[in-house]
A and B are shown apart, each in its own frame.
Chain A
Amino acid sequence: MKGNVSDRIESQNENQRLKRPPRSTAEWTTFGVASLVLGTITSLVVYSWATDGGRPPILTISRPEPVRSENNQFYVPFEIVNAGGETAESVQIIAELKRNREVEETADLQIDFLAENGKEKGAFVFTQNPENGELILRVGSYKIP
């Protein structure tokens, strides 16, 4: 007898546990916001997939700031931008300082990743003043990830 009652209570509890009450306003609000977040992310992914169109990387180097000299060293700031569609990996940037057609100093630097519209900044350091010679900054190589 006693066992029957407790059984019934248990099965009632079970029913209560299994049956989920209808969604409350709060739960609907959460779902609304969640769908918005997930929808935005998904459409952004689709959008950037549609626009990149498999264009290869287009890498350009510029020198936005003037040369800075400190303790007899000359810092040449530069900026590299990937205007293409695909990501470039292991981008090699080479700087050469020439005087009278002879290379006096070289420096190089590698950038891990440069995504579409990606921008990286850095500086090359020379011991001679680049203003007195010809400074060449160029991209040596990159690979497709």
Chain B
Amino acid sequence: MMKTVQKHRNQWASELDDLIRGASGGFLFGIPLIYTMEVWWIGSSVSMVRVLLALVLTFAIVFMLNRTAGFRKSADSDPRDELMDTVEAMAIGIICATFILVLLREITLETPLNEALGKVVYEGVPFTLGVALANQFLRSDESASGGEGRNSSPKSSNGAQKDTLNATISDIGGTLIGSIVIAFNIAPTDEIPMLAAAVSGLWLLGIMAASLLISYAIVFEAGFANQRKRQQQQGIFQRPSSETIASYLVSLLAAMLMLVFFDKLNGQDPWQTWLSYTILLGLPATIGGAAGRLAV
């Protein structure tokens, strides 16, 4: 009886793992296009035939990707399974894209149905590709290095402090590099001021919460490469929650500096502008930062 319960729980836990890995891949791949207003416009103006065609094409491409990659840990051989995985990848992609579009106020209750559908489907494409590539570009290493436990690295006491400092610096460095790689493309564009006009007040808090959640999911939940190493990483970043928050602050700082660098923010702007621009660019910067820490 106990065993069945245990198995049951494992099954749900591993399924949740797979889904989170897929969603994380989707965010990594999809976020740059979410911050591209031309894609919203295509979604607003395109005819429904084209939207339908986009759905069919995405399905075909993702099906082919799933034959080689996929977001699940187990390798596939059966086309029927791959077909089902494709349906799931598209659903994850569409849900994630919708979530971000609603968060950024690009889809509201007042948005007409076909405009919302166009935006969701077109923005869903890069997310779906990200889901399908999740295993490929950030492969899981959980099965590869099974033996090492969390506490397997007892350090000698005089070396420990230096290691802690080095680990912290490498974490900050990884976060900064990742943030810059993703957010540097977005910082000089007009999307940030445009989004800032639509997103205000409580929605900014929502974006902060989403940034933290996605960053946490990418680094600690998704089972990507290096995750095991991450969990043993030394330094002031060592606890998952404090690491997530600390790296969010680093990403926010990087986002703000990039905005200043591109003259999107200057001394004459009111603090509200500084706040909203930084938080809005902070979302892609944090996602990049999370990927950067995995790469270090």
Contact = CB atoms under 8 A, between A and B. Distances in A.
A48 B52 CA distance: 11
Most buried by B among A29, A44, A45: A45
B44 A24 contact: no
A52 B48 contact: yes
Contact of B78 (A20, A41, A145): A20
Contacts of A29: 15
**For the side of the interface on B, what is the size category?**
35 or more
Interface string B30-46: 00000000000100111
- By secondary structure, the B interface counts as helix
A100 interface: no
Interface string A42-85: 10111011001000000000000000000000000000000000
Nearest to A88: B45
Interface residues of A, number: 37
Contact of B45 (A41, A42, A87): A87
Interface in B1-44: 8, 11-12, 14-16, 19, 41, 44
A115 B112 contact: yes
B15 A24 contact: yes
Nearest to A85: B114
A44 B113 contact: yes
A20 B75 contact: yes
Contact of B52 (A19, A49, A118): A49
Contacts, number: 107
Contacts of B90: 34, 38
A118 B47 CA distance: 15
Interface string B112-128: 11110110110000000
Interface in B96-136: 110-115, 117-118, 120-121
B51 interface: yes
Interface of B: 8, 11-12, 14-16, 19, 41, 44-49, 51-52, 55, 74-78, 81, 84, 87-88, 90-92, 94-95, 110-115, 117-118, 120-121
14 contacts: A17-B75, A20-B81, A24-B15, A26-B11, A34-B87, A35-B91, A37-B94, A45-B121, A112-B41, A115-B44, A115-B112, A116-B112, A116-B113, A145-B46
- Top 4 nearest A-B pairs (CB, nearest first) are A49-B48, A34-B91, A26-B15, A145-B45
